[in-house]
Structure formats: C-alpha cells, structure tokens
Structure 1
Amino acid sequence: MLRQYELVEKVLDYDPQADEAMLNRAYVYTVQKHGTQKRASGDPYFSHPVEVAGLMTDLKLDQATIITALLHDTVEDTLATIEDIEAHFGPEVARLVDGVTKLSKIETMPENERAAENLRKFLLAMSEDIRVLLVKLADRLHNMRTLHFIKSPEKRQRIARETMDIYAPLAERVGMYEYMHEMQALAFRELEPEAYATINTRLEQLRSQDGGQVDAIALKVKQRLAEAGLRVEVYGREKHPFSIWHKMAERHVSFEQVTDIMAFRVLTDSEEDCYHALGVLHTTWQFLPGKFKDYISTPKTNGYRSLHTSLMYENSMRVEVQIRTREMHRRNEFGLAAHWAYKQADKADGQVGWLRDLIEIVEQSHDAEELLEHTRLAIYQDRIFAFTPKGSLFQLPKGATAVDFAFAVHTDLGLACVGAKINGRHMPLRTPLSNGDVVEIIKNPGAAPQLSWLAFVVTGKARAAIRRAVRLKERDEVAAIGSKLFDEIAARVPARIGKKAIRGALQRLDMDEPDDLMYAIGAAKLTDREVMEALVPGCTAGFEEDEEWSRRERAISIRGLTPGVAFELATCCHPVPGDRIVGIRRKGETVLVHAIDCLELASGVDNDWIDLAWGNRSVGAVGQLTVTLYDRPGTLAEMAGIFAQNKANVTTLVQTQLDHPFTSYDIEIEVQDLAHLNRILSALRASDAVAQAERQ
C-alpha cells in the first residue's frame, strides 16, 4: 500500500501545481473515516481507496480525480455525507464522489435488473464527467485483484461475470486496454479455472521450447528497419490467456492452430515512419492478404490507432506485427485516461462521440431491459466505415443499414428519413452497408419512423429512437381518436361541457392534462359511463347503453380515386383506417391500396403511385397480427377473451410455429380503425399469456 508521502510525491512529480495540503487532508480523511474496517483479505479497508488512488496517479490524472479515488467509498461505507465532502474538499470533488457512489448502490438488486441499472447509472454518470468512469474502473480492477479473498464462490462468480460483461468492455471502449486485459484475465481465472490453467501451462511450455526464437525475430525485424534508416523499438508480446481461449472458442480451433499467440510491436517516431516501416516489412516478407488493417487513418471508436499486418516469416511461420508511434502506444494502452486534459476537454471530444450515442440511448430507452439490449448492441459489435456525400466518416456495427447511418449522423435525420442513395443508386432502406459506402439520406420533415424498421436496424441508437417515436406516434393517434369519441360522449351529457367541467373531470380521474383523458378514452381505458360521470357527477343515473349509438356501418371508402375506379386492400400489409396509404395503379387491374411503410412498395418504384386517404366510411377493415403465446393451458382462451373484450371479430387463426415453450399464430381480425387495432395490441402485450404481439 502507498504511504501518504509516496502518494503525494507521485502526484507532484507530474503536477507540481497540485495542492499538497489538500491531498494530505484527503488521505488522512479516508483513513479516519474507514477506521477499523477490514477487507476480506484482512487488510485495513482504507488500503483499497489508497490503491485506487495509486492507479489514478499511474495515469497522471488531475488532483480532483486522485482525491475522488481516496474518498470514493466514504459516503457509502462510513458516516460521511456528500455535504461533508463538499465542505472539506469543494463542490467538484463532492460531485465526482457522488457520481461514483451512485454507481455502487446496486448490490441488493436482482441480478438482471442490477446489470441493466448498472449500465444506466454508468452512462448517466459518464454524461456528467468521464472521470467518474475512470475511478470506477480502477475501483473494479483493484477489487478483482483481491477477488480470491472472498469466501463465497457464488459472490466471486457474480463479480467476475459482471466484470467480464460490463466493466471490461467499457474499459475497452475508452481504450484502456491494460485495464481490460487484466480484468478479463482475472475474471477468466474465476469463471473458467480449468481452461485458464490449461492455457497458462501451454504458454509456459511454449516459452521453454522457444529457444530465443522470439528475440531473434524481433532483432531481425529491427535490423531490417534500421537498414532502411528507421529508428524503432521492436519487441515481442504474448497474447493474453483470455484472448487465446476466446479465439479458440470462436473459431473452433485448437491451441496449436492459433497463429498469433506471439506478436510483435514496432514503435516509431512519426506516422510517416509507420507507413515507411510497413512498406519495408511487406517488401522483405510476404504479407497475408486480408490480414492488413489501417487503424491510423481510420481509428477505432475509442481512439485506438495502429497498423496491423501479418507476415509469412522464414520457414512458413506466420507473424503478426503492429506498427505505431510511441505516442500512439501510450494512448492505446490507457486510452482516454492517457491524454485526458480536463481543462481542455474539447481535445478529447473526438474520442468520446460514442458516449454521446449511448447517453441518447439512455434517454430514449423505455425500461431497463430495453436499455440493456441497446447498450449491448452499441458496445459489442464489430465496425464498418461509411461516408456522407461531403466526406464525413461514420463508424457503424457490421450489418448496419441506411437507417442506422441516418441516426448515426443525427437523430433528427433518422426521424425524417424516407429513402437512401448508396454510392449514387436508390436502394431499399434495409440494405446492409459495406466498408467505404457513400450514403445520401433522403428526408421528409413530415415523415416518421416505421415500426417495421426494427426488423432490420442493428444499432442501439436507431432502435431506441424508433421505438420512442413509434410510442409517441401511437399515443397521438389514440388521443386523436379519443378526442372524437369525447365529443360524442359530451353530446350525451345533460349539460354544456366547457373547460371548467373538463378540469373537474381530470381531478376526479387523477389526471394532469386533457391529452391524458383523450388517450384514456381512445385506448378504451375508460367507459362512456365513467367519462360522463367524471364530467357531470350523477348524470348517468338510469343511463342505458344505446346499442344503436355504438353500431358501425361495415364499409370502406377511399378518397383520391376517380369515381367508379375499383380498388383492393393489399394483403401484404393489410392497411386499416388510420394508416397512411398510397395506391398502386396497375394496367387493366384494380388499384391496390398499400400502407405507406409496406415493404412490397420497395419493389414497385416504377409503378404509378396515387396519394390516397380514408373516406368517411372506413370501418370493418382487416388487421393482421402475429401473436406468440406461452405454450401452457388457457393461453389461447385468454387471447380469445382479449379479442372479445375489444369487440374484434376473428376471421382467420392459423398456428404457424410450435417451439416449446412458445406457440405462434397468424391472426386476421376485423377492426374499426388503427386506434382499435393498437388497443388490441396493447391489451395483448399486457397479458401474461402473450410473449410477443406484432402487427404484420
């Protein structure tokens, strides 16, 4: 453990302007507050925050971060408060300590919820100050180093799994590869002890059999580069045990078949020397096609920069070589922390663009499970590079589409997206992008994202924004229907309904805004009687439901067609009143009416399109659903009950898949309009019998 004077001297070595007195005060404060508390190892508890602060000094972080590391457990584990911290060390340190403390208050939550909430708090904290993340990562790293002292195997496994799933990927995403590798190694040792021991044994055997070969290769590479006039450092490195195991599992290969267990790094003085060195190596030894990556001109999202290549060395030996400048190497090992100048945060801004995307996902996610899905998508997927027509470069997950690209450029562009040109050609929005594609997004300010886009987008940012927009759109549409129904209900009340009556109704129904009332009416959450009674208490005495009043004429009319022209509703998308619709005019045939977001329209670009709208008689349409039920007794009856309660007549029900514990059905039902269909979908999704319900 670092002694007080040693810690202070380490800070003053790289920051002579640091407040020595405050650093001393923070050290003494954490020792006093933690007092006689012990860790599982038997060491004094204050040894932990002191070691975390030591890790921060290794990264040469600012004084506020060092003090935060010293104090990060005081609020959670002692009688100290945030107010005490602010009084002694100022508002900046108090804010940082509060951020770290919030990340730690998750131990009593259920495991799945804890993982999701952990991510939520991480990202929200990062949105305020990246230093909170750096302290938390150092805190987790030190806890992993002492994990073996915890007696409970279940607790060790939980902490190791959480580290592998959340903390190590986040360390990787901010470019802190040293932290990532050590966390993975320690977690791997706990989660897969036999595999860890086996791979380490094989690595030891490899070292004993090497006979100096690695040093000989490094010397040969250095000599060849020196002959070309380059001043370089060359050394061999061993692949980490977890990386070897992951590659063996991913590619289904044996230890002997992993070709890059030993790799070599070349450190140069400048970027130009990197490319010069690459040329020298490629002309000296044959390079392996498909194994070259240029992360200097196109860095990874975390700022990682290097040239990667694989060579066929003497005796057909494959050798992996990484070429980078010394400055790149320093940043690559410790990422954001290695060059974080808090007073000049704009310099680091280019490295944290992915953080802004994740923060936006947090704001738009509906619940913890949805957040976890979106953030895991954002953290784990491989990347491709695509350009705007003006040459701006965007990194996206492999398999990303034009819609993902639109949301990556800007959320507003994604929301207004109606089409795309990829390399100058009109292409369907669902087209996967390839490296180097130039993507032009065609937008319409009046457009809105379609639910069907969720079937092909892959980025968490796009999925979160689409779901949020669809939810808002559905609510607006249901509220609009509710407003019309309200007028009909109000006409039946024996009094003139004004703003005063509506305010009274909202108060009686415990609602805040008139829109809440209209939505509740449109979603059938309130009966006519309940609304009337809320408007004028006592007015429904002796009220009888007028069956004729609620009866609807079963007919469909379309505006925008020439009188006498026949039409059909397309069976591919089953449009219902409330959907935006267009007609496709086919020679010698009737006009086929599609929903505007129907995927079939993409194959009919050259057809004659007609802008259409629903007429006054627009009821009795057919909606098509796909419903997945849990395969247990009573679920089918419960689904049928939902249809009956919502007065929907089932015309077709076909079982499409039986895959225990689920059963899927394609269902056609007669509905009045889109709001009616959405109410049915909402009721289905709320049922414990239903695993999934979607409109086809």
Structure 2
Amino acid sequence: MVRISDIIDKMLENNPDADIDLIDRAYIYSARVHDGQVRLSGEPYLSHPLEVSAILADMNLDAVSIAAGLLHDVVEDTHATITEISDIFGPDVAHIVSGVTKLTKVETHSAHQRHAESIRKMILAMADDIRVILIKLADRLHNMRTLGFHKSDKKKREISQETLDIYASIASRLGIYWMKRELEDSSFMYIMPEEYARIKGLVSKDKEEREHYVETVMGMIKKEMKAAGIKCEVLGRYKHFYSIYQKMITQNLEFEDVYDIVAFRIILDTKSQCYEALGILHALWKPIDVKFKDYIGRPKPNMYQSLHTTVIGPYGERVEIQIRTWEMDRVAKSGIAAHWSYKEGKKLDKSISEKFAWIQNLIENQANIENPDEFLESVRIDLFPDEVYVFTPQGQVKSLVKGATPVDFAYLIHTEVGNQCIGAKVNGRMVPLRSELNTGDIVEIITNKNHQPSKDWLSFVKTVKARSRIRQWIKTQEKERSISLGREMCEKAFRKYKLNYNDVVKSDEMEAVIADFGFKSLDDLIANVGYGKITPLQVVRKFMRKPPTEEEKDDSLFDKIIHRVRKKKARTGVTVKGIDDVLVRFGKCCQPVPGDPIIGYITQGRGVTVHRVNCVNALQLNPERQIEVEWNDTTPEETYPVKIHIHSFDRVGLLADLASNISKNGANILNVHSEIRDNNTVDSIFTLAIKDTNHLNRVLSDLKKVKQISKVERIES
C-alpha cells in the first residue's frame, strides 16, 4: 500500500512550497472516518484514497487536489458532511469533494437514468473545476486496477464498458494519454478476455527478437544524432493491446500485418532540433509521405505537440517515430494537468482555458436535453471526434467511424438494405456511394430488390460490418458459380472413365468419398473442384479400383501443391480465388504489374504462378491447371520489376539523361544492359521497379521525349 510519506515526498519534489500541512490533516481525517471499512480485496478502505492521491501526485497536481483526493469518498461512504469538510479544509477542497460526490448521489427511477445523470453531473463538474474530473479519472483508474476482486463477471464488463466509453475518452480529450492507454487495456481485458489474452500472447511470442530489433534501431538513431551534434534521448515502446486490437479490426489486418507494434520516440531540447532530427531521419530512411503529421506546427485540440513520421527502416519494415521536446513530452504525458499551476490559489492560464473551451461547449450543447438516450448519444458525439453521427430520415442517430460512406450506413441499418443499395441522398441531394459522411448528415438509402453488392465497394467501405457482409455475399456467389463449374468438370471427367455422374453422386460410396476429402456435403466437394482446390480426376480416382495412370499421378500433385505450399499471408498484391494461403509467384517471362490483366497457373512445387493473360509461355500451359486470380489493394511502397527496351542513337550523356528521367518519375533502376551497334545506335535493356501500369506508362511516355530516342517499349515476354 502507498504511504502518505511517499505522496508528500513526491509533492515536495515537484513544489517545495506545497501546503504539506493540508495534506497531513486530510490524511488523518480520512483515516479516522474510514476506520474499520475494507475493500473487496480485503485491504483497509484507506488504501483506495491513498492510491488515488498517489496518482494525482504523479500528475504533479497541487496540494488542494491531493487533499481532495484523500477525501473524495468521505461524504458518500462515511458520516462526514460537506459543511464539515469546508470548515476543516477550506472552501476549495470542499467544492471539489462536493463535485466528485455529486456524481453518484443521484435520485432517479432507473439504472439507465442514473447512469445518464451521473455522466451529466461529471460534465457539469468538469466545466466548473477541471480538478474534479482529474480526481474522478484517478479514482476510476485505481478501481480498474482492483476490478478483479469483483465476483460478478457481468458487473466487471459493465464497469469496463463505461470506462471505455466515457472515462478513457475524456482522458484522451484532456491529453492524458498514459491514463487513456491503461484504462483502455484494463477495460479490454474484462470486456473481451480471450482477444486480450490472444494479443498479449502474440506480443510476448517474439519479444526477445523484437527487443533486439528495438535496441538496433535505437542505436542507429542515436549514432546519427550524435554525428549531427544533437543531444537527445531515444525510447522504444510497445503499442498497448487495445490499440493493436482496434487497428486489426478497423483496418482488417492480421497481427503480423500491424507494422507499428513498437514505436520510437526522440526527445530533444528545442523545437528547431525536432525539425533537424526529422531531416536526418528522412535522409537515413525513406519516409512514407502520407504518414507524416506535424502536430508541432498544428497542435491537437488538447495541446498535444509532436512530429509523427513513418519510415522504411533498416530491415525493410515500417517504423513509426515521434519527435518532440522535453516540454512537449511533459504535456503529452499529463495533458491539461501539465498546465495546472503548482502555486496555490492560481488559476489556469487564459490561453490554456481557451484550448479546453470544448468542455464549456459540451455543457451548453447538453443543457436542454432531458431524454437519457439522447443525452448520452450527444455526449458521445462530442467525446469521440473519430466518429461521425448521422441521422436516418426518421431522425434516429446512427454512429459510424470517421470516413464512413452511405454503403456503410446502409449495412448498419440492415444487411439487405446494404445488399440492395443502388444510391443515396445526403441532406436531400444524390451523392456518389463512396462519398464520406459528416456528423449531422441526414442519409436516405435508395434500394432495388434486383440489385446486388459490388466488389468495388470493398475499396471504400470503412466499417467491419459492411466489409464482412460484402465479402460474405461475394463468397456465396462464388460458391454458386464454383458448384456449377465443378459439376460440369466432374461430369466430363466421369464420362471419360465411363461413369454416370448422376448415378455416382446418389450412391452410398459418394458419402464415403465426401467424408474422405473432409467435407460435410456434396456441394462443398463440388465447389472445391470449381475453386480449383481439387481436380475432377482426384474425385474419379476414389471410384476406380485400377492403379492410377501417370496422368492421374501427375494430377494428384495439385492437392499437394495447394495444401503443402503454405506460408504467412503473402504480400504479393494478388488474391487467388477461393484460396487464402497459397504461395504466389510472378512469371519472370512477362513480369506482370498491377493493372495488367492476369491469370494464374498451378505449378508443381511452386504454388500459383501469375502471368499476364497474353503471355506466350502461359498460353502453352495446361488449361486445366488454370486458376482465377486478381490484383488486390497494394501498399504505396510495393513495386514490381519490369523490363523495357530503349532503341536510340548514340550520343554523349545518353545514359545519364535516361537515368535522370526514370528517377524523376519515381522509378528505381534495378538493372541495366546497354550495347552499341555498328550503325551508331544503342539498344538498352532497363529493369525498373514499377508500382503499376499507370506508373509504367508515365515512365515510357517521358522516355520517348528524350533527345535521340527512336523507340521505347515494354518487353512482353
């Protein structure tokens, strides 16, 4: 248990002139009135106000705040009165204790109303004295640390959900990020214990290897800064579990695809050094432009300041780095508490108060709302800036993630509404389905029973529900097509071996064959033939008593290829229809890039090889081993090798001009081979790293403009 001497020592360390006598008297009074009371943990009740006050001391709050923290429960849980607190400790302490106490002393008829009114009281108290909510946050934080002593799992989930919905969000809006992270993680642990344990296990799994990686990256950063004569501190930290989970859900990622499990922080003395350090990092590692955020030039509403950049680090992985000064770091850790005066009797600076004017706006916005549901909904609109709140034509409020579209809204209403969506009106006007919705929009969905979802919707929908429902529909449609194709392929193969397909599928032997392949129904088996996971000959072979022919033996390799050549989710930019984890490689003969029409072929021991549809080599392959593939969304840094042929007249500086033109267009030269012919012409073969066909066409177009160039073309095969 924390001791009062520890709290006092911390107070004196931060402010030697602090009113220690006030804290001493508050401790003695709290110990006397709580005497004999125990918590669910079995500890004396006094341990709770001491822990709350220790949290407040760590936040560098003043003596009045610490004293109020020691007394925050006395009016609610003991015989003490506000009048008595005011007489003994003064009006400031009494005012704060009263504000905290009023949060739970609400007389209403239902638990739902009590919850709404409690939140209303808390918001009113926030506007009156910010220290009220800081004490309430510290109180909730310690309660979450000891929530495990509650016997009721239902109660734990209810408390955790409220913590996640309200308290973690307020901590974020006040800029107290360390508290936000702990509240989120502890709530996550009780709301979704299995997911929490899974992510915790995944983070711990390669911890030793990851720590070596952290030390290596930190060492490289320190070395570069030292060489530039910049004194700094470099830190590496793990992203908290709830944040990882949120990223996996909102961006539909596997754990292995979350690149910023570890983030780095550089702390310097001055603002100018921050920008200098940024330049050094961008010279050392290639930055990802869209990931750069300048919160120094444009601070967040809660006064958070820092430079955020993401670079392609030493191992080809994305590295997230934050750069800030020591003062910015102090604000980032404590938020509004960092601006609270240590001197007794002083108020927040006017400019700081203006930064938190949203609290007063929150009060004004909720002043005339009586309905508890409407009140809580409107509070969430203000507290969750990363969400948008839109209205149905009937006036119902619907919450969506920021960037959501009318299609997301349609699926939120009902799956069938989403599937049949053909258009949308926002505020009475027709808009494209990919339009982003804003808070306050009135959205009307136009449907048609004969309409079906489009695969293109997956490129812009933001919500998990919309994405999963669209994929579910696509999968169902693909299964139906695959059953039809698979049946046709099986009928053809069965005829070849003088078997009647319709008779065979009705036989008892077919039931055994279905089970032997590990499926539950005939449709599942036939669909997998249509998908290309099983060949018709494999099915036929189950009914044949004679030894398999060489053709059949060769065909049986199909199954081995699909089921043995597996690895982690490949970052190839290509999806194989019906198969999620097969190895994918690109044909070296035709070198396809995103934008090219492509087709896949099952190749022995190599999974699926992707060719351009007009590739001469691919056209000579067995059509029965053909499988449908398509490009999926690629990340901006992904590139693909492409060979181009340039025919030109020889001149001084030719290669330099070609290289300059290629570089200007953002393409990297992987290889170059150039030969001078007898007629004073030059044939050059360049292998370039290209993003897609649009990128390639820009490069080819600009190269054609170079002086003395007679022909520029892509090498087809």
Please show how residues 244-643 of structure 1 align to structure 2 within 5 Å.
Answer: 244-341=244-341, 342-382=346-386
Question: What is the match of residue 235 of structure 1?
Answer: 235
Question: What is the match of residue 664 of structure 1?
Answer: none
Provide the rounded CA distance (Å) in 2 between the counterparts of 1:3 and 1:282: 48
Q: Across the two proteins, how many residue pairs are aligned to each other?
A: 400
Task: Give the drift of 1:108.
Answer: 7.9
Task: Give the drift of 1:70.
Answer: 0.5
Task: Give the drift of 1:67.
Answer: 0.7
Letter in 2 for 1:207: K
Letter in 1 for 2:347: K
Q: Would the aligned equivalents of 2:381 and 2:387 in 1 still touch at CA under 8 Å?
A: no
Show CA shifts across 1:79-138 (max 9, x none).
101011011111111111000001133598745434422321121001110000000000
Letter in 2 for 1:71: L
Q: Would the aligned equivalents of 1:185 and 1:242 in 2 still touch at CA under 8 Å?
A: yes
Letter in 1 for 2:377: E
Question: What is the match of residue 498 of structure 1?
Answer: none
2:266 match: secondary structure: strand
Provide the rounded CA distance (Å) in 2 between the counterparts of 1:264 and 1:62: 32
Task: Give the drift of 1:41.
Answer: 0.1
Provide the rounded CA distance (Å) in 1 between the counterparts of 2:258 and 2:151: 36
Task: Give the drift of 1:73.
Answer: 0.2
Letter in 2 for 1:379: L
Letter in 1 for 2:54: G
Letter in 1 for 2:202: R
Task: Give the drift of 1:344.
Answer: 4.0
Letter in 1 for 2:46: F
In structure 2, relative to structure 1, the CA distance for the partners of 1:237 and 1:430 (3 Å cut) is farther
Q: Would the aligned equivalents of 1:115 and 1:162 in 2 still touch at CA under 8 Å?
A: no
Provide the rounded CA distance (Å) in 2 between the counterparts of 1:282 and 1:169: 33
Question: What is the match of residue 592 of structure 1?
Answer: none
In structure 2, relative to structure 1, the CA distance for the partners of 1:315 and 1:27 (3 Å cut) is closer
1:314 match: secondary structure: coil
Show CA shifts across 1:439-487 (max 9, x none).
xxxxxxxxxxxxxxxxx99558x99xxxxxxxxxxxxxxxxxxxxxxxx
Provide the rounded CA distance (Å) in 2 between the counterparts of 1:137 and 1:69: 11
Q: Would the aligned equivalents of 2:339 and 2:348 in 1 still touch at CA under 8 Å?
A: no
Provide the rounded CA distance (Å) in 1 between the counterparts of 2:286 and 2:242: 29
In structure 2, relative to structure 1, the CA distance for the partners of 1:376 and 1:2 (3 Å cut) is same
Task: Give the drift of 1:160.
Answer: 0.7
Question: What is the match of residue 101 of structure 1?
Answer: 101
In structure 2, relative to structure 1, the CA distance for the partners of 1:128 and 1:291 (3 Å cut) is same
Question: What is the match of residue 164 of structure 2?
Answer: 164
2:347 match: secondary structure: helix
Provide the rounded CA distance (Å) in 1 between the counterparts of 2:41 and 2:28: 22
Show CA shifts across 1:259-316 (max 9, x none).
1111111111111111111111112211112111111111111111111111011232
Identical positions, percent: 44
Provide the rounded CA distance (Å) in 2 between the counterparts of 1:431 and 1:107: 48
Task: Give the drift of 1:3.
Answer: 2.4
Provide the rounded CA distance (Å) in 1 between the counterparts of 2:247 and 2:106: 33
2:383 match: secondary structure: helix
Q: Would the aligned equivalents of 1:361 and 1:371 in 2 still touch at CA under 8 Å?
A: no
Show CA shifts across 1:224-270 (max 9, x none).
12222221111211110110011111111110011111111111111
Q: Would the aligned equivalents of 2:22 and 2:63 in 1 still touch at CA under 8 Å?
A: no
Provide the rounded CA distance (Å) in 1 between the counterparts of 2:325 and 2:233: 10
Letter in 2 for 1:162: E
Task: Give the drift of 1:162.
Answer: 0.7
In structure 2, relative to structure 1, the CA distance for the partners of 1:289 and 1:8 (3 Å cut) is closer
Show CA shifts across 1:517-563 (max 9, x none).
xxxxxxxxxxxxxxxxxxxxxxxxxxxxxxxxxxxxxxxxxxxxxxx
Pair 1:146-2:150 in alignment: no
Task: Give the drift of 1:220.
Answer: 0.3
Task: Give the drift of 1:185.
Answer: 0.9
Provide the rounded CA distance (Å) in 2 between the counterparts of 1:135 and 1:65: 7
Provide the rounded CA distance (Å) in 1 between the counterparts of 2:429 and 2:338: 39
Provide the rounded CA distance (Å) in 2 between the counterparts of 1:399 and 1:160: 27
In structure 2, relative to structure 1, the CA distance for the partners of 1:281 and 1:121 (3 Å cut) is same
In structure 2, relative to structure 1, the CA distance for the partners of 1:132 and 1:235 (3 Å cut) is same
Provide the rounded CA distance (Å) in 1 between the counterparts of 2:352 and 2:35: 39
In structure 2, relative to structure 1, the CA distance for the partners of 1:288 and 1:115 (3 Å cut) is farther
Provide the rounded CA distance (Å) in 2 between the counterparts of 1:98 and 1:191: 31
Please show how residues 80-91 of structure 1 align to structure 2 within 5 Å.
Answer: 80-91=80-91
Q: Would the aligned equivalents of 1:31 and 1:46 in 2 still touch at CA under 8 Å?
A: yes
Question: What is the match of residue 207 of structure 2?
Answer: 207
Show CA shifts across 1:546-598 (max 9, x none).
xxxxxxxxxxxxxxxxxxxxxxxxxxxxxxxxxxxxxxxxxxxxxxxxxxxxx
Question: What is the match of residue 175 of structure 1?
Answer: 175
Show CA shifts across 1:594-636 (max 9, x none).
xxxxxxxxxxxxxxxxxxxxxxxxxxxxxxxxxxxxxxxxxxx
Question: What is the match of residue 621 of structure 1?
Answer: none
Q: Would the aligned equivalents of 1:378 and 1:459 in 2 still touch at CA under 8 Å?
A: no
Q: TM-score normalised to the size of structure 1?
A: 0.55
Provide the rounded CA distance (Å) in 1 between the counterparts of 2:99 and 2:293: 38
Task: Give the drift of 1:330.
Answer: 1.1
Letter in 2 for 1:54: A
Show CA shifts across 1:396-453 (max 9, x none).
x9679xxxxxxxxxxxxxxxxxxxxxxxxxxx99999xxxxxxxxxxxxxxxxxxxxx
Provide the rounded CA distance (Å) in 1 between the counterparts of 2:131 and 2:224: 43
Q: Which runs of 5 or more structure 2 residues have no equivalent in the other structure?
A: 389-400, 405-426, 443-717
2:289 match: secondary structure: coil
Question: What is the match of residue 134 of structure 2?
Answer: 134
1:212 match: secondary structure: helix
Provide the rounded CA distance (Å) in 1 between the counterparts of 2:104 and 2:219: 48
Task: Give the drift of 1:381.
Answer: 2.3
Q: Which runs of 5 or more structure 1 residues have no equivalent in the other structure?
A: 385-396, 401-427, 433-455, 464-696
Provide the rounded CA distance (Å) in 2 between the counterparts of 1:306 and 1:378: 24
Provide the rounded CA distance (Å) in 1 between the counterparts of 2:371 and 2:143: 30
Provide the rounded CA distance (Å) in 2 between the counterparts of 1:110 and 1:209: 53
Choose 107-116 or 374-383, whichever is displaced more. 107-116
Provide the rounded CA distance (Å) in 2 between the counterparts of 1:431 and 1:325: 48
Choose 8-17 or 157-166, whichever is displaced more. 8-17
Provide the rounded CA distance (Å) in 2 between the counterparts of 1:340 and 1:11: 14
Task: Give the drift of 1:211.
Answer: 6.2
Question: What is the match of residue 605 of structure 1?
Answer: none
Q: Would the aligned equivalents of 2:236 and 2:265 in 1 still touch at CA under 8 Å?
A: yes
In structure 2, relative to structure 1, the CA distance for the partners of 1:291 and 1:430 (3 Å cut) is farther
Provide the rounded CA distance (Å) in 1 between the counterparts of 2:336 and 2:264: 24
In structure 2, relative to structure 1, the CA distance for the partners of 1:240 and 1:104 (3 Å cut) is same
In structure 2, relative to structure 1, the CA distance for the partners of 1:430 and 1:82 (3 Å cut) is farther
In structure 2, relative to structure 1, the CA distance for the partners of 1:107 and 1:457 (3 Å cut) is farther
Provide the rounded CA distance (Å) in 1 between the counterparts of 2:223 and 2:67: 47
Q: Would the aligned equivalents of 1:340 and 1:348 in 2 still touch at CA under 8 Å?
A: no
Letter in 2 for 1:216: T
Choose 115-124 or 232-241, whichever is displaced more. 115-124
2:315 match: secondary structure: helix
Provide the rounded CA distance (Å) in 1 between the counterparts of 2:220 and 2:155: 49
Q: Would the aligned equivalents of 2:366 and 2:375 in 1 still touch at CA under 8 Å?
A: yes
Letter in 1 for 2:56: M
